[in-house]
Structure 1
Amino acid sequence: MHVQIPLTRDLVLIGGGHSHALLLLKWGMRPLPGTRVTVINPGPTAPYSGMLPGHIAGHYTREDLEIDLVRLARFAGARVILGRAVGLDAQTKTVTLDDGRVIEYDVASVDVGITSELPQIPGFSQYAIGAKPLDRYAECWADFIATAHQTGQAGPVAVIGGGVAGVELAMAMSFALRRATGASDVTVIEAAATILSADPKPREKLLQSLEENGVKICKSSVISEITPDGPKLTTGQIIPASLTIGVTGALPQAWLAQTGLPLTDGFINVEKTLQVQGQDDLFAVGDCAHLMHAPRPKAGVYAVRAAPVLYDNLCARLTGQDLRPFRPQKDYLKLISLGQTSALAEKWGRIWQGPWLWRLKDRIDRKFMRMFHDLPQMPQPDLPPVLTQGVRDELGDGQPICGGCGSKVGAGTLSGALASLPAPTRADVITGRGDDAAVLRIRSQHQVLTTDHLKAFTEDPALMARITAVHALGDIWAMGAKPQAVLASVILPRMSPALQARTMRDIMGAASDVFTSVGAEIVGGHSTQGPEMTIGYTITGLVDQAITHAGAQVGDVLILTRPLGTGVLLAAEMQARANGRHVAKMLAAMAEPQDKAARILHMAHAMTDVTGFGLAGHLQAICQASGVGADLDLSHIPVYEGAIDMSQSGIKSTLYNANLMNAPIIGLHGPKAALLHDPQTAGGLLAAVPAAHAPQILADLQQLGLPATQIGRIVEGPPMIRCL
């Protein structure tokens, strides 16, 4: 008999640094049953700092140096929470995020890296950026160098900080600018009397390389403020700069000072076991940690070497075993890129230089990143040798059942079962069974009633609750109603009472935020345990005159408020094939309520929300109920980023074939056309509006920043859909 192992402990990884990324990789290959793993990071990717200078110089793409945390977490069976940690209370064992959300833990590890922001310098936050965190710098530089390529010219660049990091990035930017415009104007500003004061051995070689790269050096220069024209020195001189980058070495994250944790120069004190000093259940690694037993400079090599010890010690703490010490090496091979495809190496006081070292560095860096790009295929349990007839046909290619609306049964299955029931006879039931929701007459008012639930497709219960709430509200909005009351239905996987309470608080808190924001209230619910998390809501709404499927008129314009592609992207994400940035952007859009769009579409003749049966299936329902046809302009139908690529690669939701059979379209071809049958979760509103009002409706929707688009028209003829 298969026993579902209950979840009993929360392991929270704060930050997506190198140690945590390697930990997730190992966890995916050797998970600890009973532990729920959460990784908190500001974005869906974590940049590998070793390749940053090469990226700035133009030798690597952004994707080359990014670890996809969404994909990595799926491999590890972990949940990703996209948010920036701004607080940590070791007594209550909680982490506070910048959006106010509080995450509880049993055991946690901090790997949030360092910063190069210099808020103490007036004007820095307005007119300069730090090289770390890397995301903002990389994005800003991408815009700067793109403009240089387009115009053939670029303004001067100032680099604050004359250490190895500042020198390396200055040469990288100079090289890229010379390649883009034929010239460069890059200045390194250093407060000390000499640059590279902490690295005297390679100084002469690097000074020569700076000169070869045309980088100017401004020593003994203290900055008083950053102005729109560039850094202003205490002497009054302004170093002209269109772009100013702060690279003043390793600065601690400012929020750590408010945690009450033991710190050295702002960095977290850790014991030889990587436990925070005085804290048994809190660990810290990477550049944010200070190794009390063996202080070391801030370098990624130590984070990489610490990862196996961190994995072992976290598992030991979660299972009640003994921990082992981390013994960092005394020195390491420093490889410094020189702008062009050449590098300098230093170890034990010896210096080497040349293109061959760049090739060595490139090989080392790419090997490291391949571990995350080419995730190992973990073996799946074999099927029994003898199976009942039809089992292999149902399993098909072995793709797991999709989450969200991709897990629905086909449209014909439910409609066929409903058709076998006796016809409704109650006088207070106004709409038939085929519409988005039931409309009930209660004295002089009309009340809309709907229910929906989703099998989880993300391990984050709060995000899942928000998306499910938006999804379930779609039927209320599609009928033109105002949300009123909500009953929640929650199935949790087997877990300890403590984790049940944490998870339920996450779910109900997030759901309440959504429903309260649109004027509804949660009034009760039901919960149970099952094999996987499932969240559902039954919702009522009030309306004077419901918008149904049956009102579409010939000449009406079809407006869609959201892109297509959630089904294929969620299917790809389950298979660890989707791009994490695309997935994160889509999930954020899915979690946004559509109440404002619904209010603007109140004059629609017919309306529905595009969900499990895809755009084709839901449009067909309007056509059949209204006795009309529809023409679609495929080129105008918006899709989520990455959806066409995943469709072209052959990925389809498990509900796709049933949708295709239920709502065939004339003139379909190509990967984008396949998305018309893609099951949507928290999809857009599809409205048939009077042609005379369509331009103003679209303008109002787009003024709110909603990606609404005119995708076709209602035409005369039988209830069929053509794709033009």
Structure 2
Amino acid sequence: MLVLQAFARRPEPGTRLTLVAKDRLTPYSGMLPGHMAGFYPRDALHIDLERLARRCGAVLIQDEAISFDRDAGQVRLRGGGTISYDILSINIGITPDLSDLEGAEEHALAVKPIGDLLPKWDQLVQDAHKPDGPRRIVIVGGGVAGICLAFAVSSSLRAKVGSSIEVTLVSASAAPEINSRMRRRVERALERRGIKVWAGCAAIAVDPQGITLAGGRRIPADRVLVSTQAAPPPALQHCGLAKDEKDFLAVGPTLQVLNDKAVFAAGDCATMLGHPRPKAGVFAVRQGPVLARNLRRALRGEALETYIPQRRHLVLIGTGDGQAIGGRGRWLAFEGRWAWRLKDWLDRRFMRRFS
């Protein structure tokens, strides 16, 4: 989106831009918990890619890239077509890694991709209104996304259904992005909201009655949402492009894939080998302007600039009640209504760039 915006502001003569996206409307993950908690309508967290492409003279192909042929310089689409390229930029996100959670494919709701989650969430809310609807909700994954989800689900369903809703958060390990002071604030907020926490407990199986932990203990559940580790999308398999040890695309400081200067990659689908960072949207946003400039320089045959991601970044977690908890680095932690207003302002400002 940031690349398209940059080329809309300053078109590059003689360049044909083609955007391949599965959906015309793409959701912004930063506002998903706020939407689930009732703070934003559905359309507030979507960006219209067709309109954005039109602004910069790009062609939008509403399809899904399923493989990349670097020898032929082509992208193969699920609809059966192919697109030839001189320069390719890949930012296709992640897919949830459910390999260590038996039964998750059949009995759990994966948080990503968000576009697939939203209709399932709508169905869960609809079912929860029934007298015999789901009351016990378990969220697997103690990272920032899982914590945000726990607050949002608790706030939304309790407001709609009542105090009979039970929300449980199961985490195998602590979120690496959260410092110790922020973690204590999060723990206290979870307790205040009546959200049960199983910390240091790995879930190994899901079935229609609940989940099983590594030690054999059972946690009953009517619905299970999974926000665990990321896996590379299937389209990156067998593409001949350089990968890291987890099969994400391996890029250097110019955001070029290490074994192909005609291919760039950014966001969660890529790893900067010299500077690995958590799979978080803040890094993709920071890469956007650099990626746009380097794509332009590559088209012109100019030297590319290098990018080193920051080590510390601001983390803001909405607690579903008009407040938020924030932190940065090893020590800074804060919370309150002003923290939610800060998060809301940052998210709305980001979305206004594409409206």
Class of the TM-score when normalised by the shorter of the 2 chains: over 0.9
Could you tell me which residue of structure 2 aligns to residue 199 of structure 1?
Answer: 178
Code of the residue aligned with 1:370 in structure 2: it is: R
Cα offset, 1:149, TM superposition: 4.7
Does the CA contact (< 8 Å) of 1:154 and 1:177 recur in 2? no
* RCO higher in structure (CA 8 A, sep ≥6): 2
Q: Distance in 1 between matches of 2:219 and 2:322?
A: 29
Question: Does the alignment pair 1:261 with 2:241?
Answer: yes
How many equivalent residue pairs?
351
Secondary structure at the aligned position of 1:225 is classed as strand
Could you tell me which residue of structure 1 aligns to residue 260 of structure 2?
Answer: 279
Could you tell me which residue of structure 1 aligns to residue 339 of structure 2?
Answer: 357
Structure-to-structure mapping, 1:697-712, within 5 angstroms:
none
Overall identity of the aligned pairs, in %: 39
Cα offset, 1:84, TM superposition: 2.1
Could you tell me which residue of structure 1 aligns to residue 314 of structure 2?
Answer: 333
**Cα distance change, pair 78–248 in 1 and its aligned pair in 2 (3 A):** same
- State the TM-score, normalized to the length of structure 2: 0.92
Alignment equivalent of 1:86, drawn from 54, 59, 66: 66
Q: Distance in 2 between matches of 1:197 and 1:297?
A: 8
Secondary structure at the aligned position of 2:334 is classed as strand
- State the TM-score, normalized to the length of structure 1: 0.47
Q: Distance in 1 between matches of 2:142 and 2:101?
A: 17
Q: Distance in 1 between matches of 2:172 and 2:308?
A: 35
Q: Distance in 2 between matches of 1:197 and 1:304?
A: 20
Cα offset, 1:205, TM superposition: 0.8
Code of the residue aligned with 1:59 in structure 2: it is: F
Q: Distance in 1 between matches of 2:178 and 2:63?
A: 36
Instruction: Report the structure number with the largest CA radius of gyration.
Output: 1
Question: Does the alignment pair 1:228 with 2:239?
Answer: no
Cα offset, 1:152, TM superposition: 9.7
Q: Which moved more, 1:90-99 or 1:74-83?
A: 90-99
Question: Does the alignment pair 1:110 with 2:90?
Answer: yes
Code of the residue aligned with 1:26 in structure 2: it is: A
Does the CA contact (< 8 Å) of 1:152 and 1:180 recur in 2? no
Question: Does the alignment pair 1:137 with 2:149?
Answer: no
Structure-to-structure mapping, 1:499-538, within 5 angstroms:
none
RMSD: 2.0
Moved over 6 A (4+): none
Question: Does the alignment pair 1:95 with 2:83?
Answer: no
Cα offset, 1:111, TM superposition: 0.5
Alignment equivalent of 1:185, drawn from 166, 171, 182: 166
Structure-to-structure mapping, 1:386-535, within 5 angstroms:
none
Does the CA contact (< 8 Å) of 1:229 and 1:238 recur in 2? no
Cα offset, 1:343, TM superposition: 0.7
Q: Distance in 2 between matches of 1:224 and 1:191?
A: 10
Does the CA contact (< 8 Å) of 1:232 and 1:238 recur in 2? yes
Q: Give CA deviations for 1:3-22 in whole Å, capped at 9, x if unaligned.
A: xxxxxxxxxxxxxxxxxx11
Cα offset, 1:25, TM superposition: 1.4
Does the CA contact (< 8 Å) of 1:117 and 1:130 recur in 2? no
Could you tell me which residue of structure 2 aligns to residue 27 of structure 1?
Answer: 7
Does the CA contact (< 8 Å) of 1:117 and 1:129 recur in 2? no
Q: Distance in 2 between matches of 1:204 and 1:118?
A: 29
**Cα distance change, pair 49–116 in 1 and its aligned pair in 2 (3 A):** same
**Cα distance change, pair 95–148 in 1 and its aligned pair in 2 (3 A):** same
Code of the residue aligned with 1:276 in structure 2: it is: V
Where does the alignment leave 5 or more consecutive residues of structure 1 unmatched?
Answer: 1-20, 374-724
Does the CA contact (< 8 Å) of 1:56 and 1:138 recur in 2? no
Q: Distance in 1 between matches of 2:125 and 2:338?
A: 27
Q: Give CA deviations for 1:187-241 in whole Å, capped at 9, x if unaligned.
A: 112234xx43663422111111111121111234333322122223345544222
Cα offset, 1:143, TM superposition: 2.1
Where does the alignment leave 5 or more consecutive residues of structure 2 unmatched?
Answer: none
Could you tell me which residue of structure 1 aligns to residue 273 of structure 2?
Answer: 292
